[in-house]
Structure 1
Amino acid sequence: MERPEGERVRVACAVRNRLYVDGVLVGTDLPLEELAEHRADAGALIWVDLLAPSVPDIAALSPLVGGEVELHPLAVEGAISGRQRPRLVRFRDHSLLHTRAVRFDAATDRLDGTDLSIFILPRALITIRGDERFALDPILADWDDNPDLVAYGVGFLLHTVLDAVVDGYFEAIDTLDDQIQSLEDELLLGGGPKNAVQLRSFVLRKAVAHLGRAVLPMNEAFSALLRQGAHVLDGEMVPYYQDVYDHTLRATERIDGLRDTIESILATHLAMQGNSLNEIMKKLTAWAAIIAIPTGVTGYFGQNVPFPGFGESAGFWLSAVLLLGLGFGLWGSFKRRGWL
C-alpha cells in the first residue's frame, strides 16, 4: 500500500540506514521520508536496520523501502518472533533469511547469540537484530572498503552481513577450542575439585551443542541461496557466497571435532576415575588383610584352652611377636607389589 506523500514515517525502534544510487553512497542514516523519495529510482539500493522492532514498526517501513513489494504477514511475524531455526524462506517477490550470530564468553563458559532476520528484496535489504550485541560497524566498514562491489546490489550487502556472521562462528569455535585444551591440561595435571573437570565438560558440551544448532542449518540456507532462481544472487557474486559456504562447512567440521574431543575427555576422566577406584580397592583390601592378622592371632590365643605360655609372660611376648611379625610381613609383601 502506497504511503501518502509527505506523511511522516513513525518507527518506534532504533533505525539505521544507507542509500546508494548507481553504486555511489548518497547518504547514511537519512530521514525515512527521504529514503521513500528514492525507492522508485532504477539505480537505488537501500539498506535499513531495525533494532528489536515491533510488528507495526516493520509494517510502517516495508512499503517505504519495498515500493511495489509488500512483505508477507507470515514473514513479518517470523522476523520478530525470535529463536527461529536458521533457514531461507522464499515468498513471491522477496525472501526472508533467519540466522543467528553467536559469541562465546570465556569468563562464564556461556554461548550467547543474537537473532538476525534479513528481508531480501530486489533493491533493498532490511536487517532485524534482536539486540545490539551483533555489531554493525565492521559491516559498514567492509561496504566502505569495497565500493566497486556495491554495483552488485543487494547480493553484495547480504554477503557482507553473512560473512560477519560466519566469522563470529569461527571466533566462538577458536575460544571454545582454547577452553577445551585447557580442560585437557587440567585433566592430565590434576588438582582442583574432584568433579571440576566433569562439570566443566558438561558445560562446554552444552555450549558446543548450542553452537551446532546455529551453524549446521546455515549449510542448508547457503545451498538455497546458491540454488538457481534465488531472488538476489548476481552471477558475479556466486564465488563470494561459495567462499562463505565453504567456511560454514569448515565450521561444521570443527564443531564435530570439538564434540568428539569433549566426549574423549569425559571418557578419559571416567577411565581415570575407574583406575583410581581400583587403586583404592586394592589398598582397602590390603589393609583388611593386615587387620585380619591380629584378629586371627588374638582370636586363637583367646580360646579357653591351654596354649604355649598359658598363664606366663612368655605367652604374651609370643602373641605380640606373632602380631607384629605377621602384620609387618604382610605389609611389606603388599608394598613390594604396589598395593600400598
Structure 2
Amino acid sequence: MSDTTQQQDDRAAAPVPDVRVNCRHRSRLYRRGVLVASDLPLRELADRGADPDALVWVDLLAPTLSDLTALAPLVGGELELHPLAVENAVSGSQRPRLVRYRDHSLLHARAVHLDPADGTLASTRVAAFILDRALITIRSDDGFPLEPLLAQWDDIGGLTERGVGFLVHSLLDQLVDGYFEVLDDLDDRIQDLEDELLEGTGPTRDIQLRSFSLRKDVVRLSRVVLPMNEALSALLRPGAHALYADIVPYYQDVYDHALRATERIDGLRDTIESILSTSLAMQGNSLNEIMKKLTAWAAIIAIPTGVTGYFGQNIPFPGYGESWGFWLSAVMLVGLAAGLWFGFRRRGWL
C-alpha cells in the first residue's frame, strides 16, 4: 500500500469533528456525478464527503468569520483555507475578481437584480471557494436565489462527475444571465423614455431626471460587469485550477456572454447621452420660439404705450376719483397678471 493511499485511509477513519454554523445554509453531496443527498447536517456531510469520489457543495447565507472557520472539516485535513481568503469572503468591499491560493481559489462576484418595490438596481455579494472536491458559496442576502442554480445543476446531470468546475460554470452562468435580465429592463425603460421625448408626452424636467437616474443605474451595473470580465478571463488562463480540459469551452461561452453584456452597457450609456442632448436641444429650440413670441407681443404693446406716454395722456376711467374705481383697477392689474402667468405656465414657458 502506498503512503498516499494510507494517508487517505487514515483520514477516512479519523473521527470528524463537529461542524456548526449559526447562519442559514444549504448543501448537496454528489458521488460520481449522481446526487446522493441534499441539505445534510454539516457533520454528516463532512464525514461522507471524505470519500475521494464525493463532490460537496455548501451555501452559506450572510455568514460570520466564525462560521467560515467552522467549515474546516469540510475541506479536508491537509487543506486549510487561507486566513486572508476567509476574511475577504465575509468582507463587503471586494470587487469582482479571482484570487488564487496554493490549494484553492476564491471568486468574488456580484449578482444584480431590480428591487420590485421601487425598481432600483440592487446587488448581492457572492463569493465562492473553489477546491478540488468542494464548492463553498457565500451570499450576502437572498437577492441571488438558489433555485435556478440548483435546477441547472440537475439539468447537467452526469457532467458533475467531471469535477467542481461544472458547478462553478453554472454559478457563473446564472450570474451573467442576471446581468442580461437587468439590461433588458433598463433597455425597455430607456426606449419608453425616448418615445416620450420624441412624442412630447412627458415634461422635459421629468425626462431629464429619469435620464440621470437611468444613467446612474447603468454606471452601477458597469462597475459589476466590467470587473467580472477580468475574473472570467483569469479562470480561462492555463493552470488556474485543476479541472478537466473540456470545461474550458463552457467558461469561454460565459466569458463571451459577459463581453456582450459590456457592449450593451456601452450602447445604453450612449443612448442615454443622446436622450439628454436631444432634450437639451429641444428645450433650447422651444425657448427660442417663446422668446420670439414674447418679443413680438412686447413690440406690439410698446407702440401704444410709447405714444400715450409721450403725450402724457391721462384719460378718466370708470370710477375715476372714486374709491371703488381704485379697487377695480387694482383687481384688473392682478387678474391680468395672474392670467398671463397661468397661460405661460400651461404652455411651459415658466
The interval holding the TM-score normalised by the smaller chain is 0.7 to 0.9
Aligned to 2:58: 48
Long gaps (5+) in structure 1: 304-340
Aligned to 2:47: 37
CA distance in 1, matches of 2:19, 2:245: 35
Aligned to 2:275: 265
Q: Which range moved further: 243-252 or 232-241?
A: 232-241
CA distance in 2, matches of 1:212, 1:205: 10
Aligned to 2:179: 169
Within the alignment, does 1:11 sit opposite 2:11 as a pair?
Answer: no
**CA deviation after TM superposition for structure 1 residue 107, in Å:** 6.0
Aligned to 1:72: 82
Q: Kindly provide the amino acid, as one letter, of the partner of residue 191 in structure 2.
A: Q
CA distance in 2, matches of 1:33, 1:106: 38
CA distance in 1, matches of 2:199, 2:117: 21
SS of the aligned residue for 2:90 comes to helix
CA distance in 2, matches of 1:300, 1:32: 99
Q: Kindly provide the amino acid, as one letter, of the partner of residue 197 in structure 2.
A: L
Within the alignment, does 1:185 sit opposite 2:171 as a pair?
Answer: no
Normalised to the residue count of structure 1, the TM-score between the two structures is 0.85
CA distance in 2, matches of 1:148, 1:49: 21
Match of 2:209 among 199, 214, 219: 199
Within the alignment, does 1:283 sit opposite 2:283 as a pair?
Answer: no
Match of 2:99 among 53, 74, 89: 89
CA distance in 1, matches of 2:105, 2:196: 48
Question: Structure 2 vs 1, CA of residues 19 and 107 (structure 1 numbering), >3 Å: closer, same or farther?
Answer: closer
Normalised to the residue count of structure 2, the TM-score between the two structures is 0.82
Residues 23 and 43 in structure 1, CA contact (< 8 A), matched pair in contact too: no
Question: Structure 2 vs 1, CA of residues 69 and 108 (structure 1 numbering), >3 Å: closer, same or farther?
Answer: same
CA distance in 1, matches of 2:88, 2:41: 26
Aligned-residue identity in percent: 70
Residues 22 and 44 in structure 1, CA contact (< 8 A), matched pair in contact too: yes
User: Runs of 4 or more off by more than 3 Å in structure 1?
Assistant: 191-194, 299-303
Residues 95 and 121 in structure 1, CA contact (< 8 A), matched pair in contact too: yes
Question: Structure 2 vs 1, CA of residues 66 and 100 (structure 1 numbering), >3 Å: closer, same or farther?
Answer: farther
Aligned to 2:258: 248
Residues 17 and 28 in structure 1, CA contact (< 8 A), matched pair in contact too: yes
Aligned residue pairs total: 302
Aligned to 1:318: none
Deviations 1:275-306 (A, max 9, x none): 11111111111111111111232234449xxx
Q: Kindly provide the amino acid, as one letter, of the partner of residue 214 in structure 1.
A: V
Question: Structure 2 vs 1, CA of residues 124 and 108 (structure 1 numbering), >3 Å: closer, same or farther?
Answer: same
SS of the aligned residue for 1:195 comes to helix
Residues 17 and 49 in structure 1, CA contact (< 8 A), matched pair in contact too: yes
Deviations 1:179-198 (A, max 9, x none): 00011111122234441101
**CA deviation after TM superposition for structure 1 residue 6, in Å:** 5.3
Aligned to 1:313: none
**CA deviation after TM superposition for structure 1 residue 130, in Å:** 0.5
Residues 112 and 123 in structure 2, CA contact (< 8 A), matched pair in contact too: yes
Larger Rg: 1
Match of 1:237 among 241, 244, 247: 247
Long gaps (5+) in structure 2: 1-10, 314-350
Question: Structure 2 vs 1, CA of residues 241 and 52 (structure 1 numbering), >3 Å: closer, same or farther?
Answer: same
Within 5 Å, give how 1:90-109 maps onto structure 2.
90-105=100-115, 108-109=118-119
Match of 1:155 among 165, 180, 187: 165
Aligned to 2:343: none
Residues 62 and 70 in structure 1, CA contact (< 8 A), matched pair in contact too: yes
Residues 106 and 179 in structure 1, CA contact (< 8 A), matched pair in contact too: no
SS of the aligned residue for 2:250 comes to helix
Q: Which range moved further: 138-147 or 196-205?
A: 138-147
Q: Which range moved further: 126-135 or 189-198?
A: 189-198
**CA deviation after TM superposition for structure 1 residue 69, in Å:** 1.4
Match of 2:139 among 129, 145, 159: 129
CA distance in 1, matches of 2:125, 2:70: 21
Question: Structure 2 vs 1, CA of residues 75 and 5 (structure 1 numbering), >3 Å: closer, same or farther?
Answer: same
Match of 1:293 among 303, 306, 310: 303
CA distance in 1, matches of 2:309, 2:285: 36
Residues 61 and 138 in structure 2, CA contact (< 8 A), matched pair in contact too: yes
Aligned to 1:225: 235
CA distance in 2, matches of 1:84, 1:190: 44
CA distance in 1, matches of 2:116, 2:21: 37
CA distance in 1, matches of 2:117, 2:19: 43
SS of the aligned residue for 2:36 comes to strand
CA distance in 2, matches of 1:193, 1:299: 41
**CA deviation after TM superposition for structure 1 residue 199, in Å:** 0.5
CA distance in 2, matches of 1:66, 1:213: 36
Within 5 Å, give how 1:297-336 maps onto structure 2.
297-302=307-312
